Structures are given as C-alpha cells and as structure tokens.
Amino acid sequence: MWRLARAAAKFRQIRRFSAAVSGPCIVHKRGTDILHDPWFNKDTGFPLTERDRLGLRGLLPPRVISFEQQYDRFMESFRSLENNTRGEPSNVVALAKWRILNRLHDRNETLYYRVLIDNIKDFAPIIYTPTVGLVCQNYGGLFRRPRGMYFSAKDKGEMMSMIYNWPAEKVDMIVLTDGSRILGLGDLGVQGIGIPIGKLDMYVAAAGINPQRILPVMLDVGINNEKLLGDSLYLGLRQPRLEGDEYLSVVDEFMEAVYARWPKAIVQFEDFQMKWAFETLQRYRRKFCMFNDDVQGTAGVALAGLLGAVRAQGRPIEDFVKQKIVVVGAGSAGIGVLNMAKQAISMMGSHENSAANNQFWLIDKFGLITSDRKDLDPAAAPFARNPGEIEGLNEGATLLQVVKKVKPHVLLGLSGVGGIFNEEVLKAMKDSDSPRPAIFAMSNPTMNAECTAEEAFRHAGPNIVFASGSPFEHVDLGDGKVGRVNQANNMYLFPGIGLGTLLCGAHFITDGMLQAAAKCLASYITEEEIQKGILFPSISSIRHITTQVAAAVVRAAVEEELAEGHGEVGSKELTHMSEEETVEYVAGSMWYPVYTPLVHEK
C-alpha cells in the first residue's frame, strides 16, 4: 500500500515535469550555421536577445515576426498556390504542393510540423499517400537535399561506423525500406526513401515523436526495375538486387549497427517485398524492437474495419466468426490481415475456431488459392480452400466467380491492382449475404485502388460500407444522402504502436500489444457513427487516436510484464498507472512544435 502511494506520488511529479518540458534547447552552433539548420532555425522569428546570444545580429532583416505571423504567411502562400494551379493536371498540382511543403521543411522544421499538425487532413495526402507515391516515382528529378540515411550494398563492413555520421545523439524511431515494393508501384529502389520520410512525418504529426529523434533509412541493395536502371537520373546502385544470404547479411549488419548506437530505438520495416517482409519479421522480432507495418500495422487497421463491418450490420462482434470474407491479394498485407483476423477469432474464444479458416477466401494473381495450387506458398497454405467444396469453385477461380458463389459479407482488396473490383464484381456484391456489404479497396496510391468510392456506391448500391487505403471524397448519392468514405490506412495504428512501445520500454513488440492497438481502434467509433457507415475516425483527430492506441499498447506491455519504462518513468510507475493516467502520460510525452529559447554551448 505504502509502495503504491509512493509510485503514484512519483508519477504525479513526473506528470508535472512532462507538462513543462519545453525548456531551453542547447545548440552547439552559431550564426549562419543555425539559420541553415532546419532543426533550430526560426527565420525572422528569432527574438533580438537570441540574435545577440547566437551571433545572428545583422544576418536577418531587423523586424521580428511572430510564429503566428509566419504560420499565416505560409498558409497564405499555400492557398494562393492552390488558386493559381486550379485547373492544372492533378499530378502537377500535387507535386507543386509537395514542393512548397518540402521547402518549408528544409528551412524550418518547427513551422513545418506546426502547419502539418494543424492541417493534417489537407496535408496528409501530400506528404503521405497518394502524393508520396508520385514523389517516389519522380525522386531523381525532385532531389534537392538529402533526408535520412542511405546504406548500400557497397557499404558492407562500414555500417557500424557510418551510423555515427547521423548528427543526432538520440534516435527513437527509424523507418526502414529497401524500396522493393513501394505502395502498389513495385520496385522503385533508392527512390523509395520517400516512404520512410512520409511515415516519419506522420510519427511527428500523429504521435508527437520529436523530429530530432527520427531517422528515415534507405537500404539500397540494388534494383530490379529495368526502366529506372536505364534512367540517367537514377540515384541508387545500378545493379540487380542482392538475394539470399547476401541480402540478409546487409540487413543484419544494418540492424546490428543501429542497436549498437541506439539500443532503445524502434525500427519499422516498410514496403519490403513479401518474401523479405516475412523473413525479416521472423528473423528480428524476438531479437530487436521492430515490427513490419505492412504486415502488422495493416492487419490491425483491417481488423478494426472488419469488426466495424459486423457492427454496421447490427450484429454483435462475436458474429465476426460467421462473416464470409474474400481477400484479394495474398501478399505481405493480405496474409498479415488473415493471420491477425484468425488470431482475433481464437482470442474471442469461439467454439467454432476449428472452422475459422472456412470463412476466408484468398485470391492472388492466379485466382482462388486452393490446396491444388502448385508451389503453394507456405504463408498462404493455411487459407487454401478445398477445391470444389462449393460447386464450381476450383483452383484459380476468378474473382467474379468467387464473389458470385460465395456472396461474401466483405470484399477486401490488398492486391495493388487498380480497378480490379470492376463493374461486374461490384454488381455481384449486391447479392451478398450481408444487408450491408463491406467493400475495402485498400491498395495505394489512388490509381492502384481496387475501385473508386464512386464506383463502389454506384455499382454495389448505396447500402454498402466503404473504405479505401488512399483518401476519396464522400459520394453524393442524391436526395441529400451521402456515401461515407473511410480511409483504411495503417496510419491509424503505426504511430501508436511505435509511441506506445517507446514509452513502455518493451524490448519486443508482441502479438498482444498489436491486438490491443487494433482493439482500441475498433472501439474508438461509436454505435451511432457505425450506423452512418463510419468505420474509422477522421484523420483530423489522429493525435487523439494515437494517444489512445499508444496507451493501449503500453497497458498491454505492462500486462505481459514487458514494460521496462522510459526515461524517468520506470516499470513500477507504469504498472501502477490507471487507464486514465496512462493516457495522460502518453499525451504529456508528445512533442508539440513551438519555438523554444536556444542556448549556445561550445
């Protein structure tokens, strides 16, 4: 009892401390070096006293402009860019918007992250999917200043020293890609660096990770994309991708180097082709604090959507086990979703567990996967159907045949193939056994979505619930009715998984922590919202969602006795925190962009 009271008192002390974290910031540079460092630069916002202290007098026009004025000026330029580019091709407009934001980032990160946080609904589609896909495709031409680090196959043997070239002493979050499966755009090699950059921007915006403690990384092991290999502006290694042990030894060396310098960092694997996504996850998940977002983050978001789809039919969650779900795409994301859904069913303690796989139909580029499949992928094997169990549904049956015969409650696309949910397929969903069929076109970017929102409502009917990986506008159904569009994107989970893991100080990310994150997201939406077809919250509340998700992850780690604490909050304090206090602890730990006084130290 006495110990409990002491822990609670310490927690209150810490809370007071965290609420007042924005103290002065120590810098080791002066003059133009500061102006050219976006971490510290405040442009015309440096107060006169600070200009004196940091040797900035005379290097800036004399008037001091407030943060708010700088913010308004930027937003004004952004709005006039919008006006001036109206009517121009959408790609041109998207890249122009990306450029103006990127230029701000390269100059002044505090202002950049503030405009990002305050306008996340408008800016996420620019710094994240879909525009980030376009940026990756055009990376050679867009490159001006490097962001993050590049480790290539040619750096073998050097990574342990290279990692010290990164200027920050502490790193909390790393997002790593090898560029081999960028969104649904295939192998983009070194150009895939845009994805870790975009994901980490979301970490700052949603999870309040300090931008001085993030690190986007490209692991360049070659490229198997002939077009880019022949492109004179291609900036990566011009060689075929490493394979087998040669490949793994490069990733091993990188991981060892990271954890030698930053033992508490979390590494998020992103957009690796399927074989390496699964292999590296198995290889590292019990050795390092890492997760694969496409496999695990996506699975949690999809599961939350699938549970929402059950509720939308007015059924209890337990009826999830009775839902017939057709998954199109048997890659890292599709298989990840099925594995997690299966796990959720067994956690629900359903007596129908043994039949759990019977509710899933898995389709890849060769059609329906059955046990007749030659060279059946071991990852897909648990979901292979018995050929002919439904008359006419044999190995390789087409998507249309499957939808017509199965009459699924849910049609979920993670194939990367734009338009594959065509008119016929969508019309066939009208005969679904669900009164409210769910259509999830989760592939990114927009042009790779299995169908558009408008197509889904037009062909499958106004009664569907719809979600897509990239944003679409809500659909006008006439008579004042609106077809709600949800964004089913792993952005709703990965920031909370990363932040929660960081704050609890667990050494590994367990299935229990991931399930807790998914469950939290699923329960975020109210019954009333669900009835309106809202399955996921608005991105405008992403910080709030992330706080809840991170707290759920912390509590799951505590329950599993994995929470070792972070900074001044030890495992004992974490154990004694109530649910509410955990949420407060998470919220109080988030970085928020304001100008802090800079103090020079040699």
Ligand X SMILES: NC(=O)c1ccc[n+]([C@@H]2O[C@H](COP(=O)([O-])OP(=O)(O)OC[C@H]3O[C@@H](n4cnc5c(N)ncnc54)[C@H](O)[C@@H]3O)[C@@H](O)[C@H]2O)c1
User: Under a CB-based contact definition with an 8 Å cutoff, are residues 368 and 408 in contact?
Assistant: no
Task: Say whether residue 332 binds ligand LMR (CB under 6 A).
Answer: no
Task: Report d(CA 96, CA 85) in Å as an integer.
Answer: 8
Residue 97 designated active-site? no
Which amino acid is located at 79 in the chain?
Answer: R
271, 395, 455, 584: which one binds Mg ion (CB under 5 A): 271
Binding flags for ligand X, 265-304, as an x/- string (CB under 6 A)? ---------x-------------------x---x--x---
Q: Which residue has the tokens 């793994």?
A: 248
- Sorted by sequence, the CB contacts under 8 Å of residue 427 that are 6+ apart come out as 459, 460
Task: Report d(CA 407, CA 398) in Å as an integer.
Answer: 14
Please indicate if the annotation marks 271 as binding a ligand: yes
CB closest to ligand LMR, residue no: 129
Instruction: State the angle between helix axes of 67-84 and 109-118 in degrees (0 to 180), rounded to the nearest 10.
Output: 70
Instruction: State the angle between helix axes of 332-347 and 298-312 in degrees (0 to 180), rounded to the nearest 10.
Output: 60
* Least distance CB 491 / Mg ion (angstroms): 10
Instruction: Return the one option of Mg ion, ligand LMR, ligand X, none that residue 328 interacts with (CB less than 5 to 8 A, by type).
Output: ligand X
* Least distance CB 589 / ligand LMR (angstroms): 25
Please, what's the b/e burial string for 353-390 (b: 16 or more CB within 10 A of its CB; e: otherwise)? eeebeebbbbbbeebbbbeebeeebebbeebbbebeee
Instruction: Return the one option of Mg ion, ligand LMR, ligand X, none that residue 363 interacts with (CB less than 5 to 8 A, by type).
Output: ligand X
Task: Say whether residue 488 binds ligand X (CB under 6 A).
Answer: yes
- Sorted by sequence, the CB contacts under 8 Å of residue 454 that are 6+ apart come out as 472, 475
50, 253, 294, 573: which one binds Mg ion (CB under 5 A): 294
| Other CB atoms within 10 Å distance of the CB of residue 567 | 12
Task: Say whether residue 184 binds ligand X (CB under 6 A).
Answer: yes
Q: Classify residue 511 by burial, with Cβ atoms within 10 Å: 0-12, 13-18, 19+.
A: middle
420, 438, 539, 586: which one binds ligand X (CB under 6 A): 420
Task: Say whether residue 237 binds ligand X (CB under 6 A).
Answer: no
User: Under a CB-based contact definition with an 8 Å cutoff, are residues 537 and 524 in contact?
Assistant: yes
- Window 122 to 181, contacts with Mg ion (CB under 5 A): none
* Least distance CB 302 / ligand X (angstroms): 8
Task: Say whether residue 135 binds ligand X (CB under 6 A).
Answer: no
Size of the site for Mg ion (CB under 5 A): 3
Cα 540–Cα 541–Cα 543 angle in degrees, nearest 5: 115
225, 268, 444, 548: which one binds ligand LMR (CB under 6 A): 444
Instruction: Return the one option of ligand X, ligand LMR, Mg ion, none that residue 131 interacts with (CB less than 5 to 8 A, by type).
Output: none
- Smaller CB distance to ligand LMR: residue 434 or 489? 489
* Residue 428: both structure tokens together: 């066939």
Size of the site for ligand X (CB under 6 A): 30
Which amino acid is located at 174 in the chain?
Answer: I
Residue 148 backbone zone (phi > 0: left; psi -120 to 50: alpha; other: beta): left
Q: Classify residue 12 by burial, with Cβ atoms within 10 Å: 0-12, 13-18, 19+.
A: exposed
Q: Which of 112, 113, 128, 203 is catalytic?
A: 128
Task: Say whether residue 365 binds ligand X (CB under 6 A).
Answer: yes
Which amino acid is located at 341 in the chain?
Answer: A
From 35-43, 283-291, 441-449, 537-545, give the range in contact with ligand X by CB under 6 A. 441-449
Phi, psi (rounded to 5 degrees) for 195 = -70, -55
Element (H, E) at 313: none
Please indicate if the annotation marks 489 as binding a ligand: yes
Closest CA to 494 of 265, 220, 299, 226: 299
Task: Say whether residue 271 binds ligand LMR (CB under 6 A).
Answer: yes
- Window 316 to 345, contacts with ligand X (CB under 6 A): 328-334
- Window 167 to 206, contacts with ligand LMR (CB under 6 A): 183
Instruction: Return the one option of ligand LMR, ligand X, Mg ion, none that residue 209 interacts with (CB less than 5 to 8 A, by type).
Output: none
Please indicate if the annotation marks 294 as binding a ligand: yes
Residue 128 designated active-site? yes
Pairing of strands 367-368, 360-364: antiparallel
Within its chain, how far is the Cα of 471 from the centroid? 14
Task: Report d(CA 181, CA 163) in Å as an integer.
Answer: 25
* Least distance CB 329 / ligand X (angstroms): 4
50, 172, 294, 455: which one binds ligand LMR (CB under 6 A): 294
Within its chain, how far is the Cα of 545 from the centroid? 13
Task: Say whether residue 129 binds ligand LMR (CB under 6 A).
Answer: yes
CB closest to ligand X, residue no: 331
Phi, psi (rounded to 5 degrees) for 540 = -60, -25
Q: Which of 42, 97, 199, 519 is catalytic?
A: 199
DSSP bridge pairs for 219: 151
Task: Say whether residue 293 binds ligand LMR (CB under 6 A).
Answer: yes
- Smaller CB distance to ligand X: residue 323 or 490? 490
Task: Say whether residue 196 binds ligand X (CB under 6 A).
Answer: no
The contact set with Mg ion (CB under 5 A) reads 270-271, 294
Annotated binding site: which residue ranges?
181, 270-271, 294, 444, 489
Annotated binding site for (S)-malate: which residue ranges?
181, 444, 489
Annotated catalytic residues are 128, 199
The contact set with ligand X (CB under 6 A) reads 181, 183-184, 274, 294, 298, 301, 328-334, 363-365, 414-417, 420, 442-444, 448, 469, 488-490
The contact set with ligand LMR (CB under 6 A) reads 129, 183, 271, 293-294, 444, 469, 489-490
